[in-house]
Amino acid sequence: MARKKKTLVKLLFFGVVTATLYAGLFINEPIVKTLCARGGLYALFPVLTAFVFSFAHGNFTNYFWQTLGIEAKKKTTELTTYDRPVERKEVRTQLRA
């Protein structure tokens, strides 16, 4: 039960952060457009903005699905070792010049 409560708190936190980021972006659209169009080092602004949005929105989505109880399937792989039926001789190529 404690894990579900932590997940819900994180869901709400990242939901608020994501909503705030999007609201800030749309309210300050003219400023953002001018910063992105400047060039030079300002060219990093759209890239950094995309990383910040991706991080916040990705975490929000992750905790949203966890809160609903939907998680990725855990794939287990069995390591198998097998013996070769016939021992193969190592073949090395030789240069004949």
* pLDDT for residue 63: 95
Average pLDDT of span 31-49: 92
Q: What are the structural domain ranges in the chain?
A: 6-68
pLDDT of amino acid 83:
63
φ, ψ of residue 84 in degrees (nearest 5)? -75, 140
pLDDT at 41: 92
Contact partners, residue 8, CB within 8 Å, separation at least 6: 63, 67
Confidence at 75, pLDDT banded by 50, 70, 90? confident
Q: Is pLDDT of 77 > 80?
A: no
- The whole-number pLDDT of residue 74 equals 84
